[in-house]
Structure 1
């Protein structure tokens, strides 16, 4: 039976479960369904969708206000919201601000304030401060508090579609009881309980305060140092099953975890000596998992061999056919969910171009010590933006597509936050920035 013969109410209900990309594709390719895709009820559903608003770090919707907008105005809001953050940097752009203030008890030093994904919750932490807090920005309510040792490393993962946070806490060297554990926090009730603990019972393992930790879902990725010297390994741990797989050496990787995948930049030493962006499915490691021993992760790591690393997507980084190298600037990596395509991700990589072959004049000039610095080729930084679409359920290969490439300054960030944090006395103010919509009506709070 053709899809179009279903009643409009049924079609509308089905489309309300879709993302913006799907609705636009249906509207452009199916004339009989175009009228349904222009329904105000559909666009109200899209504008209020939690995945859409979380990806764009939008404040809670004013339902009474948006009910008064037409379909055209709702579509305009989606366009302006997705079009940022570029308009924020334009002098002629009209930006509205929705501000939330969180009063805090008097503190000797302002702690580091980190907005968690979606900008609904904020984590307060200070390396010289023995308390950790999670606040609900919209209600200014303190949800969770934990007393920790000075220097404890804290990483937080929010469970998609729920009100659960998983907090990874790593106690670094030189504490004798160094360990790593994960707490699960109910963001509604504030109740928490420990779901994983990794005790470290060997002097050969050092959990450094400079180590990298990333947590996503049932997995966390960490850098473990087997000595105080430059000797690091990335280890992927499934904390729910207490198993691990050794990712191999690589202290200079830029790495992120997203549901089901590891995204990282790697250096291809031969033959190109250029940076490579790799997206690897966790299921590719299915044969390499090992149980964590009672003695902790270090002993298991020392016994493990580095397995071959299966790649699912591999992209050499280049700009205008010029490879992006490793020795000029550090590589920055940012991965954010797509607001338009549910399940897809935006990946941004900032790296430096490798200098081209020296010209004859440069070769001659470099023979003179006083001129070497002046004749060194300039190194440019480049920002590459990709769209990553994971493997669909029907088995097609996943897609990593270059969206844009541009030269940028050294201060350019890989991702521009829409929500900003600033201190005001003993309070924190979180400002959500939005291009003004509709043009004749502002809604700043």
Structure 2
């Protein structure tokens, strides 16, 4: 039996379990399937799937059902290209659905825009460099740390949950959250450091599951780092059952080395690894069942490694057991991708370099990811505070079935305009579409490629302590003049 032999309702049900790429591919098979793929009900299901996975901000199923088919396609396009107000007017829509989704060329025009704003009013915020704010995927909840780590509802301006630290002298250093269960819960990883008797200074890693409706949290994983007086906590991230903590520590030879503790909270096990050479920075990020590493190879050239979790199978150690957690050189793990990263302009930059690594899932094609890698450095002929940034993006496509190859392709390579070091955006602030923001007296949005700034907008009480959401481009920040305000700006 062929697909077109089924009833329209049966075909639409099949479409509801597919990603957008699969539906578009089937639409090219014949006119009958093409007509069905343009039906509004198909796109309601497709966009609702995106909503439950966190690709779409602040829309309920009833909101999605109220959209026309054309509006739903436009919504998906905005996820791919960034908010429409960041881009010049698009060309007239093509008759081809795929063209509607993928074709959107940027120009060098500068747009003056006015975003919508939501305001949160948490109490007791203090002006400090030790603060961070993140809008979780889906746009409904904000995690922020100032005196303590808290979760707030954006829609209701209400405290949902406050973290119970290990003690009054303990501080949260880093956190990350992943929306799960269709948006009902969030898994949060927290790195924390404080004074604990009798060991003195101690660092802790904790993973909790928070239910938004009840405000109750459950501990999924916790671990105290050993020899913590020699550790600097650098970064954390969570993805499914995997989470990592990136640390910097002194070696026996009195050298600083970046290392990573990768944990599986479902199996209560962990593994520790480090870069191939001492003093080489190690950047880590996660996608389902894979770890991405950016470091220097033995020749000092930046290198990306993608490792499937199966490569760690014999190296996991149970938390709390007598098994020694040795530090393993990453060269010992089998890779699915191992490629040098070449930056065409980096010869102009002087060390030390600053690097960023991000990997985001495609809203269109499950198992496909957009990887952004950047390198920033100063120029030999300019003041030390003027820095340039080279940004490359890659497409990583994992096989959907046995026998298919892993695809690693470079998408873009460009150089951003010089930026002052003190005003450089946070390390995570590059969106899926490649937009990034910079704050001076106003916020400025830069586009993918190498045009000048693309859009400018005023933000009441703007702050450099900000977060740019991955798919929606919503900007979340602490107010400068009013210590008890967090603003979320949404762009159409």
Deviations 1:175-220 (CA, angstroms, capped at 9, x unpaired): 52623332222122111122222235x5x34474443333322222
Which has the larger displacement, 103-112 or 149-158? 103-112
Q: Distance in 2 between matches of 1:306 and 1:347?
A: 20
Aligned mate of 2:491, from 428, 433, 436: 433
Deviations 1:80-132 (CA, angstroms, capped at 9, x unpaired): 44221585165566967443322223544375322233433211212xx2x22
Alignment pair present for 1:192 and 2:217: yes
Q: Residues 123-134 of structure 1 correspond to what in structure 2 (within 5 A)?
A: 123-126=143-146, 129=147, 131-134=148-151
- Structure 1 residues 218 and 71: CA distance shift in structure 2, 3 A: closer
- Structure 1 residues 181 and 414: CA distance shift in structure 2, 3 A: closer
> What is the match of residue 22 of structure 2?
22
CA contact (8 A) 1:221 1:234 kept: yes
Q: Distance in 2 between matches of 1:269 and 1:354?
A: 24
* Count of residue pairs brought into register by the alignment: 404
Q: Distance in 2 between matches of 1:58 and 1:133?
A: 20
- Structure 1 residues 324 and 7: CA distance shift in structure 2, 3 A: farther
Q: Is the radius of gyration larger for structure 1 or structure 2? A: 1
Q: Which structure 1 segments of 5+ residues have no match?
A: 356-371, 435-445
> What is the match of residue 311 of structure 1?
335
Q: Residues 204-353 of structure 1 correspond to what in structure 2 (within 5 A)?
A: 204-206=227-229, 208-224=231-247, 227=250, 229=254, 230-249=256-275, 252-270=281-299, 273-294=300-321, 300-301=325-326, 308-319=332-343, 327=351, 329-351=353-375
Alignment pair present for 1:401 and 2:403: no
Which has the larger displacement, 38-47 or 106-115? 106-115
Which has the larger displacement, 84-93 or 68-77? 84-93
Alignment pair present for 1:419 and 2:474: yes
TM-score if structure 1 supplies the norm length?
0.78
Q: Residues 71-82 of structure 1 correspond to what in structure 2 (within 5 A)?
A: 71-82=69-80
Q: SS at 2:222's partner residue?
A: strand
TM-score if structure 2 supplies the norm length?
0.71
Q: SS at 1:288's partner residue?
A: coil
> What is the match of residue 464 of structure 2?
none
Q: Distance in 1 between matches of 2:216 and 2:244?
A: 25
Shift of 1:311: 0.9
Shift of 1:16: 2.1
- Structure 1 residues 77 and 239: CA distance shift in structure 2, 3 A: closer
Shift of 1:172: 2.6
Aligned mate of 1:166, from 187, 195, 217: 187
Q: CA RMSD in A?
A: 3.6
Q: Which structure 2 segments of 5+ residues have no match?
A: 89-108, 420-424, 437-467
Q: Residues 47-126 of structure 1 correspond to what in structure 2 (within 5 A)?
A: 47-51=47-51, 54-55=54-55, 58-61=57-60, 63=62, 67=65, 69-85=67-83, 88=86, 97-109=115-127, 111-126=131-146
CA contact (8 A) 1:419 1:431 kept: yes
CA contact (8 A) 2:232 2:249 kept: no
